[in-house]
């Protein structure tokens, strides 16, 4: 072992040097930050005065000539503002060259530069860089792709919907949640495209489109959603998304198909979604199916039916009372629900 | 005879040296990978889209599950922190797990609890008896389940899962404080990638010594106790950077029980938390990975280095010893239960990287440390010890350990700088040096005892940690 003493001593010395370097770096960073924060606090009042002048009087000459620290202040304020104030900040950022620098950074080597640039352009640049942001949906970095999707949502151009939906199934797919939020940001102008996707899109695009048309309460999509819900060849998550969307839309025309799915599907998550939808739509015609669902072996389905019957109000209570009077397993389940409903303090969800 | 002994001693010494170097290099790689990830996420936090997630109707609801046993010291702070979460759809399920103090009374008084009829959403096995279910009348989305204790946190969590309503469940310790944006940050991976993400965890930091008011950490401060300071460095090194590194390798095994978010349907599907495990948080993650991998279903376990959960850590060596023995015992249970995953390529990076690492370095590490110390003693006894070489080797081990800890503190200072006062950063750096002498060896001893308890198949016992509560901030006088 003693033969190792010399190399070990050298290694120890190297480690010691590395530790000292780190210690010096920590001390330097801590001191520099403290000074910078103190200086920033001092200058912030002046920079905010410039921003107020810009927003109150439209005086952007002073803003254009201000030091670079102002960029951070403007970028911090931007998401919190709307209307004319937001436009004034966007114009100031463009005139200060921030937007041009971000556009150049879209091709940067570091992923965080590309992502930050996409985010900034989404907030500031209007529709000028739509094509480049859409191209970034295929970036090699997932985080950059997500940033590009969010940016497209913020820009708000309905033309971006096709690129966003296509990004769900490319070789480098985007997570559905990110695309969903971006498509929601595009507003109701994209509803026709989403309705078409319900019929012709990929399974992922169909599920996402169902979610979004549901959130928008798009009555015109009811028929396509019912088709998805009742088509046993569709993937389960597409059918579940359709059930949830029908619940949000609230059209009683969906009551019968939802009741059939609740009774026949034999897929507990889908059955649960159907039961929740029947409760949310509130059509008394769904009560018999919900009553039958009380004895479903899947506990989550039975609980959802229970909730839904309570949500139907007096009509639900009447169906429960009738079933309780007839006895049997169904009567017992109905009686238990009625008993719980009649107790003071009983709350849905407990 | 002496020659044989010398040969054995030499072989063992080489093995211990090689093991130590390998362990430190792996840890260094993990810390560097974690540091790289943390730095990148800090540089680009503006793109994370938390505002969109908060406002999105597509964001799933979360049931926060809090098991509590004799937590009167801090339960109201914990509930205040959870209920103040900036999250769109939230319910809290507190389980009073056979408390013998005023835990329930304090909550009942503060939230005007009324008894309600329980309507379960799952039928997971619960060994304790559920006595009653209550609901807040103050408008807070709080449900309280009272049950008898069987001495296991997992039993309380399963009782909470049985009444949880939302698609995601967040498990939080009753002595923990979540920062206001913690939930939305840790839920972000679920919202963005709902098809793949099955679990997500956040950063745990020591709250001892911090100034707290109504569940909010106003100013993070270091405790005056060295045993807490050592744990702060350990949490930075292992829990912040280590787990970030493992998550990057898609091999994260542990999401801390103090703060972890899971898909409720999957947790119910695997039968809830293991009733007998002492490391039920890691056990749940490994079980989920095994189950989903066997069924070839997509899954990702994510670690988000930003959201912070402040928790009380042990303030005395006795309590620390009990906690670490339990962790080691639990790890041994976990590795034995999932032994067929170890080294098995079917289970991907978890089987090939994480489980072998935890077996070789976490579970057996204390054995090697003790063997190493015995070798030194034996060599001295036989007159074989070269004092100079021994000192150099000790210096090398000290240097590696200090470098790891210093790097962890440096990343904290460069990226998060939670400790504003320079003196506290200095104390952390000093703790990173001092922990290598005494604390580390004691820690190895605690872990060894946990391993022995597991090997002797002693009945797993969950011992509650004595709570001191949080340090309330002094009210600022109005001048």
- DSSP string for residues in B435-476: TTTTHHHHHHHHHHHHHHHHHTTPPP--PPPPP---EEPPPP
Q: Within 13 A of A259's CA, how many CA atoms are on the CB side?
A: 18
Q: Are B333 and B457 in contact (CB under 8 A)?
A: no
Assigned domain for A308 exists? yes
Asked if the structure places residue A149 within a domain, the reply is no
Q: What is the pLDDT of residues A38-89, one digit of tens each?
A: 887 777 777 888 888 877 776 677 777 777 778 888 888 887 777 788 888 8
Is the CB of residue A33 less than 8 Å away from at least one CB of chain B?
yes
- Decide if A19 touches B, using CB distance below 8 A: yes
Q: Is residue A167 part of a domain?
A: no
**B56 contacts in chain A (CB < 8 Å):** 180-181, 184
Residue of A nearest to B17 (CA): A1
Query: What is the pairing mode between strands B142-147 and B90-97?
Result: parallel
Give the model's pLDDT for residue B468. Answer: 65
Which residues from B are below 8 Å from A215, CB to CB?
57-58
Is A283 in contact with A249 (CB distance < 8 Å)? Answer: no
Reported as a pLDDT band with limits 50, 70 and 90, residue A347 is: very low
Domain-located, residue A296: yes
Buried b (16+ CB within 10 A) or exposed e, B13-46: beebbebbeebbeebeebbebbbebbebbeebeb
- pLDDT of the residue at B473: 59
**What is the pLDDT tens value at each position of chain B, 479 positions in all?**
777 878 888 788 788 888 888 888 888 888 788 777 777 766 665 445 666 677 777 788 999 999 999 988 889 989 999 999 988 889 999 999 999 999 999 999 999 999 887 778 888 999 999 999 999 999 899 999 999 999 888 999 999 999 998 999 999 998 888 988 899 889 988 888 888 899 999 888 888 888 887 778 888 888 999 999 999 999 888 877 778 888 888 888 888 888 999 999 999 999 999 988 888 889 999 999 999 998 888 899 998 887 688 988 898 999 999 999 999 999 999 999 999 999 999 998 999 999 999 999 888 888 888 888 888 888 888 887 788 878 888 888 888 889 989 988 888 888 778 888 888 999 999 999 999 888 988 998 999 999 999 888 777 666 666 666 666 655 555 44
pLDDT of amino acid B463 = 65
* Contact present, B367 and B445 (Cβ < 8 Å): no
B143 vs A contacts (CB less than 8 Å):
349-350
Q: For chain B, give the longest Cα–Cα distance.
A: 83
Any A CB within 8 A of B18 CB? no
Domain ranges of chain B: 49-317
Segment 178-207 of chain B within 8 Å of chain A by CB: 190-196
- Looking at domain B49-317, its CATH architecture is Alpha-Beta Complex (3.90)
Residue from the list B192, B399, B407 with its beta carbon closest to the beta carbon of A16: B399
pLDDT tens per residue across span A227-267 = 999 999 999 999 999 999 999 999 999 999 999 999 998 89
A99-134 in b/e burial notation, b at 16+ Cβ within 10 A?
Answer: beebbebbeeeebbbbbbbbbbbbbbbeeebbebbb
pLDDT score of A345: 41
pTM score, two decimals? 0.81
Q: Is A218 helix (H, G, I), strand (E, B) or coil?
A: coil
* pLDDT at B46 (0 to 100): 47
**Domain coverage including residue A288:** 252-350
**Is A112 within 8 Å of B43 when comparing Cβ atoms?**
yes
pLDDT at B279: 87
Q: Which of A19, A73, A241 to mutate to test the interface with B (most CBs of B within 10 A)?
A: A19
Q: Is B34 helix (H, G, I), strand (E, B) or coil?
A: helix
Q: Which of A2, A22, A237 sits opposite B389 (nearest CB)?
A: A2
pLDDT interval class at A186 (50, 70, 90):
very high
Which residue among B123, B386, B395 sits closest to A2, beta carbon to beta carbon? B386
CB B333 within 8 A of CB B277: yes
Q: What is the pLDDT, as a whole number, of residue B37?
A: 74
- Look at strands B176-178 and B300-311 and give their pairing: antiparallel
* Residue A297 vs residues A93, A310, A341, B123: alpha-carbon distances, Å: 61, 20, 22, 11
Report if residue A59 sits inside a domain. Answer: no
User: Chain B neighbours among A 103-132 (CB < 8 Å)?
Assistant: 111-112, 115-116, 118-119
Q: Could you report the per-residue pLDDT of A7-45, keeping only the tens digit for each?
A: 888 888 888 999 999 899 889 988 888 888 888 777 777
A262 belongs to a structural domain: yes
Q: Do A350 and B143 touch (CB under 8 A)?
A: yes
pLDDT at A214 over 50: yes
Show which of residues 35-94 on chain A sit within 8 Å of chain B, judged by CB atoms. 75, 79
Residue A167 has pLDDT above 60, yes or no: yes
**A235/B contact by beta carbon, under 8 A:** no
Query: How does B76-113 read in b/e, with b if 16+ C-beta sit within 10 Å?
Result: bbbbbbbbebebbebbbbbbbbbbeeebbebbbebbeb
Domain count, chain A: 1
CATH number, position A289: 1.25.10
Token readout for A172 is: 């480098």
Phi and psi of B91, rounded to 5°? Answer: -135, 155
In a domain, A304, yes or no: yes
A307 lies in some domain? yes
Residue A5 CA to residue A58 CA, distance in Å, equals 73
Chain B residues 285-344 with CB within 8 Å of chain A:
none
Residue B4 to chain A, least CA–CA distance (Å): 17
A254, two tokens: 């969906």
Band (pLDDT 50/70/90 cuts) for residue A207 is very high
Q: How far apart are CA B332 and CA B326, in angstroms?
A: 10
Instruction: List the single residue in B119, B403, B407 with the smallest CB-CB distance to A306.
Output: B119
């Amino acid at each position: 072992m003693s033969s190792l003493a010399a190399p070990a001593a050298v290694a120890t010395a190297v480690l010691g040097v590395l530790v000292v370097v780190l210690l010096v770096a920590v001390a330097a960073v801590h001191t520099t930050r403290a000074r910078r924060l103190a200086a920033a606090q001092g200058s912030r009042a002046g920079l905010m005065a410039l921003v107020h002048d810009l927003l109150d009087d439209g005086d952007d000459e002073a803003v254009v000539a201000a030091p670079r620290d102002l960029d951070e202040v403007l970028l911090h304020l931007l998401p919190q503002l709307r209307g004319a104030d937001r436009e004034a900040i966007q114009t100031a950022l463009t005139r200060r060259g921030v937007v041009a620098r971000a556009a150049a950074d879209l091709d940067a080597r570091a992923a965080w530069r590309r992502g930050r640039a996409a985010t900034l352009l989404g907030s500031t640049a209007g529709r000028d860089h739509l094509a480049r942001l859409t191209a970034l949906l295929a970036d090699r970095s997932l985080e950059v792709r997500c940033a590009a999707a969010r940016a497209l949502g913020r820009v708000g151009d309905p033309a971006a919907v096709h690129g966003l939906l296509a990004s769900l199934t490319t070789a480098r797919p985007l997570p559905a949640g990110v695309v969903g939020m971006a498509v929601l940001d595009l507003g109701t102008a994209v509803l026709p495209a989403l309705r078409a996707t319900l019929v012709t899109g990929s399974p992922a695009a169909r599920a996402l489109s169902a979610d979004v048309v549901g959130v928008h309460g798009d009555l015109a999509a009811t028929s396509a959603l019912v088709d998805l819900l009742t088509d046993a060849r569709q993937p389960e998550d597409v059918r579940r998304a359709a059930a949830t969307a029908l619940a949000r839309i609230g059209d009683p025309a969906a009551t019968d198909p939802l009741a059939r799915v609740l009774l026949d599907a034999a897929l507990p998550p889908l059955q649960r979604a159907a039961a929740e939808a029947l409760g949310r739509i509130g059509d008394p015609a769904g009560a018999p199916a919900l009553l039958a669902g009380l004895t479903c072996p899947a506990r989550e389905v039975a609980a959802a039916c229970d909730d839904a019957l309570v949500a139907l109000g007096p009509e639900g209570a009447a169906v429960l009372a009738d079933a309780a009077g007839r006895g049997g397993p169904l009567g017992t389940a109905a009686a238990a629900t009625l008993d719980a409903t009649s107790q003071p303090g009983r709350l849905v969800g407990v | 005879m002496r020659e044989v002994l010398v040969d054995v001693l030499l072989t063992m010494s080489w093995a211990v040296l090689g093991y130590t170097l390998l362990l430190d290099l792996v840890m260094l790689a993990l810390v560097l990978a974690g540091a790289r990830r943390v730095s990148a996420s800090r540089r680009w936090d503006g793109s994370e889209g938390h505002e969109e997630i908060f406002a999105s109707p597509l964001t799933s609801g979360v049931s926060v599950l809090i098991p509590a046993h004799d937590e009167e010291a801090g339960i109201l702070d914990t509930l205040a922190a959870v209920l103040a979460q900036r999250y769109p759809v939230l319910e809290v399920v507190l389980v009073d797990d056979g408390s013998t103090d005023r835990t329930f009374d304090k909550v009942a008084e503060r939230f005007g609890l009324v008894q309600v009829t329980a309507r379960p959403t799952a039928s997971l096995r619960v060994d304790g008896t559920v006595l009653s279910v209550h609901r807040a009348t103050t408008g807070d989305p709080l449900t309280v389940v009272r049950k008898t204790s069987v001495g296991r946190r997992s039993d309380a969590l399963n009782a909470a899962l049985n009444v949880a309503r939302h698609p995601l469940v967040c498990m939080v310790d009753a002595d923990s404080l979540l920062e206001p944006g913690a939930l939305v940050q840790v839920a972000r991976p679920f919202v963005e990638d709902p098809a793949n993400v099955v679990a997500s965890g956040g950063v745990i930091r020591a709250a001892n010594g911090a100034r707290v008011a109504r569940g909010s950490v106003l100013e993070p401060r270091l405790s005056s106790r060295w045993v807490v300071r050592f744990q702060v460095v350990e949490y930075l090194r292992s829990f912040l950077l280590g787990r970030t590194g493992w998550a990057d390798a898609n091999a994260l095994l542990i999401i801390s029980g103090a703060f972890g978010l899971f898909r409720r349907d999957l947790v119910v599907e695997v039968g809830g938390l293991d009733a007998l495990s002492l490391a039920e948080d890691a056990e749940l993650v490994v079980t989920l990975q095994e189950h989903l991998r066997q069924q070839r279903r997509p899954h990702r376990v994510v670690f988000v280095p930003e959201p912070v959960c402040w928790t009380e850590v042990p303030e005395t060596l006795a309590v620390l010893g009990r906690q670490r023995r339990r962790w080691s015992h639990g790890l041994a249970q976990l590795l034995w239960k999932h032994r067929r995953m170890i080294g098995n390529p079917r289970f991907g990076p978890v089987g090939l990287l994480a489980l072998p690492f935890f077996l070789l370095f976490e579970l057996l590490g204390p054995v090697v440390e003790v063997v190493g110390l015995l070798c030194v003693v034996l060599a001295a006894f036989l007159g074989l010890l070269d004092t100079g070489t021994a000192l150099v080797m000790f210096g090398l081990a000290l240097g590696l350990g200090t470098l790891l800890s210093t790097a962890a503190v440096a990343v904290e200072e460069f990226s998060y700088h939670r400790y504003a006062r320079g003196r506290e950063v200095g104390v952390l750096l000093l703790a990173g040096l001092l922990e290598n002498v005494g604390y580390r060896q004691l820690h190895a001893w605690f872990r060894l005892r946990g391993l022995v308890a597991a090997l002797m198949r002693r009945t797993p016992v969950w011992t509650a940690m004595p709570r001191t509560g949080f340090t309330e901030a002094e009210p600022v006088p109005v001048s």
